[in-house]
Amino acid sequence: MITIPVKLGERSYDVAVGDGARELLADALSSAVPSAGRVAVVTQADIGIEVDPGLPREIFTVPDGEGAKSLSTIEGLCRGFARFGLTRGDAVVAVGGGVVTDLAGFAAASYHRGMAYVNVATTLLAQVDAAIGGKTGVNIPEGKNLVGAFWQPSAVLCDTATLSTLPEREWASGRGEMAKYAFLAVPEGSQPDASLIDLPLDEQVARCAQIKADVVSADEREGDRRMVLNYGHTLAHALEASSFGPNGSTDLRHGEAVAIGLVFAAMLARRLDRIDDDRVALHRRVVGAFDLRGDLPEGADPEALVSYMGRDKKAHHDLTFVLDGPRGVEPVRGIDEGEVLATLAEMASRS
């Protein structure tokens, strides 16, 4: 078992990575939440992963897909917690992927104004990214993850055995986040590459978790440095948000959208003379090595995408992107809308 500490003072916790990590749940709860007398387990019907919290429990199921990440789902969970008799001294356990950890974490942050929760991450996306760091939230029609809270889990258990039955597109979703990490924490003098996928699976997950833990420990509430974890996400979130409405037709998993966002960010950085053509080509090669595509979906509306980008949580009444450059990946504010539209048009012409 590989253990990665997330160092946040009194809110510190460990991420356990390895085959059978979910079997540590009862010990993790008794250590982190000794007052707990009962547990609310939040999951989805098709996950099929059982856990033993070592305490009386009730299972709460939430719908599948990004559409489940809504305020109405949070209300339903909290009302269910109340009927179950959950107190502030009890605990919530999330068993699932990023949708489940976002919902369970936000419900835990809201119910009784904050109670303990533990993430048992069952997808590659959740294990390398979503379950770690305490960012919880839901979507509204105006954008993705616009309502939520920073609320750190008491422990994160990444059981790599649960990944054996993942559908291929769920693997792709996780690989999109892994491709992002290929451009973060690159040793000085080295080039980003896809060598991460050559490691044993538990080491792949642990490497990504360590990078995220280091960034979160330095900047818990996304003051500046943590924004680098959103590399590729500004366009990705806009693509996802554009699919929420009744006319939405884009079928993209989160990581697939991130891969497109990484290529877009590279092309925008080149347009702004931050990087050269070779660096853009490197982004395409890395994304391709993770078996992902970097093309803009057919029919994407640039004007609508820019509108969603303006509501992105990084924005401060401007267009803010995380871009590659001479100092590596960093947030860049005040990007001209015309440059963004021109980059989207260039991407569309290549699709």
Q: How far apart are CA 291 and CA 311, in angstroms?
A: 30
Q: How far apart are CA 110 and CA 5, in angstroms?
A: 25
Q: How far apart are CA 347 and CA 242, in angstroms?
A: 17
Number of CB atoms found within 10 A of residue 12's CB: 12
Options 66, 177, 220, 256, the catalytic residue:
177
What 3-state class would DSSP assign to 169? Answer: helix
Options 222, 240, 256, 283, the catalytic residue:
222
Q: How far apart are CA 270 and CA 64, in angstroms?
A: 38
Q: How far apart are CA 101 and CA 95, in angstroms?
A: 7
Q: How far apart are CA 265 and CA 288, in angstroms?
A: 16
Give me the numbers of helices (H) and strands (E) for the chain, helices first please. Answer: 11, 11
Options 119, 139, 145, 230, the catalytic residue:
230
- Strand 13-18 relative to strand 2-6, pairing: antiparallel
**Is 66 within 8 Å of 236 (Cβ atoms)?**
no
HSE-up (13 A, CA, CB side) for residue 108: 29
Angle subtended at Cα 62 by Cα 56 and Cα 66, rounded to the nearest 5 degrees? 145
Options 10, 83, 113, 188, the catalytic residue:
113
Options 69, 237, 253, 270, the catalytic residue:
237
Residue 23 among the catalytic residues? no
Residue 112 among the catalytic residues? no
Q: How far apart are CA 172 and CA 287, in angstroms?
A: 11
Residue 135 among the catalytic residues? yes
Options 212, 253, 283, 314, the catalytic residue:
212
Residue 230 among the catalytic residues? yes
Options 22, 66, 69, 135, the catalytic residue:
135
Options 180, 233, 283, 313, the catalytic residue:
233
Residue 226 among the catalytic residues? yes
- Strand 330-332 relative to strand 321-323, pairing: antiparallel
Options 22, 69, 226, 270, the catalytic residue:
226
Residue 233 among the catalytic residues? yes
φ/ψ (deg, to 5) at 278: -65, -35
Options 22, 144, 254, 313, the catalytic residue:
254
The length of the chain is: 351
Q: Which sequence positions are flagged as catalytic?
A: 113, 135, 177, 212, 222, 226, 230, 233, 237, 254
